[in-house]
């Protein structure tokens, strides 16, 4: 079943969401993301648990949502706000980009030095670069049970 967002509520704002109240449409969206990205290892209930335990935060906007987590550099102590999950419809007008300034403000207010987003999509990477983001690193993976060629 495809995920659908709640009916339009008027002005498009970024707000902190209650995972329990929003689960009816968040879960199918996460299932959709997992189906499109089979290398992801979490299940929807993992996201629910992380938000409920306050190790992640749910942000809601018209047509989409983001789930963020914090990570701390073990050497510098700098905090990064990681855009762990982001989903929006329509895809051509992602809510994430409309609310990037709001996310930056949240990051700053919570003591983060950086905001980070991960994607396999070159198109998303290019869109982020046009908005001042920098490519930090590329990660290549290979199962250990596959030859070394």
| 36-72 per-position pLDDT tens digit | 999 999 999 999 999 999 999 999 988 889 999 999 9
Q: Judge contact between 113 and 78, C-beta under 8 A.
A: yes
pLDDT, greater one: 96 or 124 = 124
CB atoms within 10 A of CB 17: 19
Of 79-83, 100-104, 110-114, the least confident: 100-104
- Average pLDDT of the chain? 87
Would you state the pLDDT for residue 95?
64
Is 109's pLDDT higher than 70? yes
Average pLDDT over residues 95-119: 88
Q: Judge contact between 106 and 81, C-beta under 8 A.
A: yes
Among 78, 76, 33, 69, which residue's Cα sits nearest to residue 51?
69
CB atoms within 10 A of CB 43: 13
Collapsed DSSP state (helix, strand, coil) of residue 52: helix
Q: Looking at beta carbons, which pairs linking 36-40 to residues 24 or more positions away fall under 8 Å?
A: 37/120, 39/141
Q: Judge contact between 55 and 84, C-beta under 8 A.
A: no
Q: What is the pLDDT of residues 4-42, one digit of tens each?
A: 445 444 567 889 999 999 999 999 999 999 999 999 999
Handedness of CA 50, 52, 56, 62 (dihedral sign): positive
Whole-angstrom Cα distance, residue 135 to residue 30? 25
Considering the entire predicted model, what is its pTM? 0.83
**What DSSP string runs through 97-149?**
HHTHHHHHHHHHHTT-SEEEE--S-HHHHHHHHHTT-----------TTS---
Would you state the pLDDT for residue 1?
42
pLDDT, greater one: 146 or 136 = 136
């Amino acid at each position: 079943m495809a995920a659908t967002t709640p009916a339009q509520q008027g002005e498009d704002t970024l707000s902190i969401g209650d995972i329990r109240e929003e689960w009816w449409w968040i879960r199918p969206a996460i299932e959709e993301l997992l189906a499109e990205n089979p290398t992801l290892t979490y299940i929807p209930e993992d996201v629910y648990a992380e938000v409920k335990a306050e190790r992640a935060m749910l942000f809601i906007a018209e047509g989409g949502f983001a789930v963020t987590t914090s990570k701390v550099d073990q050497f510098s102590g700098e905090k990064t706000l990681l855009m762990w999950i982001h989903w929006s419809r329509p895809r051509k007008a992602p809510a994430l980009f409309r609310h990037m300034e709001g996310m930056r403000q949240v990051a700053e207010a919570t003591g983060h030095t950086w905001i980070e987003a991960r994607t396999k999509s070159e198109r998303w990477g290019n869109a982020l670069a046009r908005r001042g983001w920098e490519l930090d690193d590329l990660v290549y993976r290979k199962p250990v049970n596959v030859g070394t060629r």
